[in-house]
Amino acid sequence: MKMLNRLTFRFLAVLIAVLVFNTTISSFIIQAIQSTGIELGVIGIWLNNFMNVIVATILIGLTIRSMMLRPIQKMIETTKKFQQGDMKARIQSKSKNELGYLAGQMDKLFDQIELNHQMKASQQEQVAATSDSVSHSIGSITTNMTDNTGKFGLIYSRSGKQLSSYQEIAAIIHMISGKVDKTADKMQDVKQAFSSIDRYSREGIKLADETAGTVEEIESYVKTTDQYFNQLKEEILSTKKMSQVISEVAEQTNLLALNASIEAARAGEHGKGFAVVADEVKKLASSVGEATRSIDQSVNEIVLKTESAAFDSRQKAEEINKNISKISDMNHHFTEIIRGVQQSDREIESARNDSVQLKDEFNVISSTVESLVSENEEAMRQMQDYQDNITKETGKIKEMESSLIELKTAIVQAG
């Protein structure tokens, strides 16, 4: 090798020079002693060899120190400084031999180590910055998910309240529907009663007409008419009781409609449709109440007229021979009774049709409310599942955040 030969050549050249120099000095010393006239003999030979060894050893030692030990010592000291953290420490040897080449290679190694250290420090800073950013993002995500969990809890609570309102509205609608059915049935009974009144009144008119042409049958007619008047009075009183029942049902329906309006107001946006229905129910209840009062008034008038007719019948029976023409008054009373019954019958039929239509609307609304209740319950179950999943994912994210913090700490400690 060129470098090895160069170092060997220098070492041999120095060794030859040392030996030549050593021989010269030894010869000079021996000659100086012999010039004094002292015969050294064997001692001189031994002294010459001893001096050669001493001088050669000293010169070789100085040469080795200068050529090898001093550069190696500098390498050791520079390496220690580098190990202690002085990344700028370098040997910077100017020698061209093997040790100089070794020193240059060590400087290159130090440069590479410094570069790697800088890159590692930069990577550590990037990892730390990225870890901080990811940790901050995770913290923000965790906070948002926690907030969302709270919001879902609030929505779940509000949905529960809304579900309760829907259920109460459904119950009220069911009760109102039952009351409407009951009202319709009572109206049908009243209609049948008015039909009986109409029939009895027409029979009374028929009898009165027959009486006008048959004076001989007046006694029998008066008795029969009195019986019909009694039956008519009983039917009218029965009708009045039914009218009172309808009035009570109308009042209860009005109260239920008021409760439905309150619950619809609690339901918020979803309760607007129920509020409209509740208003219609109140209007129907008011209409039924007015119709009932009209019926009561008509019934009272009919009772008065019936009693008046009965009284007139009895009076006329006594005076029939004197004033047969007044039988027509009874016909007039019966005609008024029939007209009032027909008017009441039309009003009852109209109210009954409205009740049937309202019942159908209530059935549709009840089905809609039940559907909303089912959908709300399903939505609440889904929200609960989603809230549970968010809680689980939040726990996992917190574990990731802890792992990132541990990783950052480990990287900093390793650096």
Per-residue pLDDT for the chain (415 aa), expressed as one digit of tens each? 454 446 566 666 767 776 777 677 767 766 776 676 666 566 666 766 777 677 777 777 777 777 777 878 888 888 888 888 888 888 887 777 677 777 788 888 888 888 887 887 777 677 667 767 766 776 677 676 666 666 656 665 666 666 566 566 666 666 766 666 676 666 666 667 667 766 666 676 666 666 666 655 665 666 677 676 677 667 766 766 666 666 677 677 767 667 767 766 776 666 666 666 666 666 666 776 676 777 777 767 776 776 677 677 667 666 665 555 556 666 666 677 767 766 766 776 776 676 667 666 667 766 776 776 677 677 667 767 766 777 777 777 767 767 767 666 766 665 5
Residues near 170 by Cβ (< 8 Å), separated by ≥ 6?
366, 369, 370, 373
Signed CA dihedral, 158, 160, 164, 170: sign only: positive
pLDDT digits (tens, 9 = 90+) for 64-119: 777 777 878 888 888 888 888 888 888 887 777 677 777 788 888 888 888 887 88
E-state strands within 4-53: none
pTM, two decimals, is 0.34
* Spatial separation of the C-alpha atoms in residues 193 and 188, rounded to whole Å: 9
List, in order, residues 6 or more apart from 303 with CB less than 8 Å away. Answer: 233, 236, 237, 240
pLDDT of the residue at 294: 73
| Cα distance between residue 120 and residue 123, in whole Å | 5
Distance between CA atoms of 162 and 270, rounded to whole angstroms?
Answer: 9
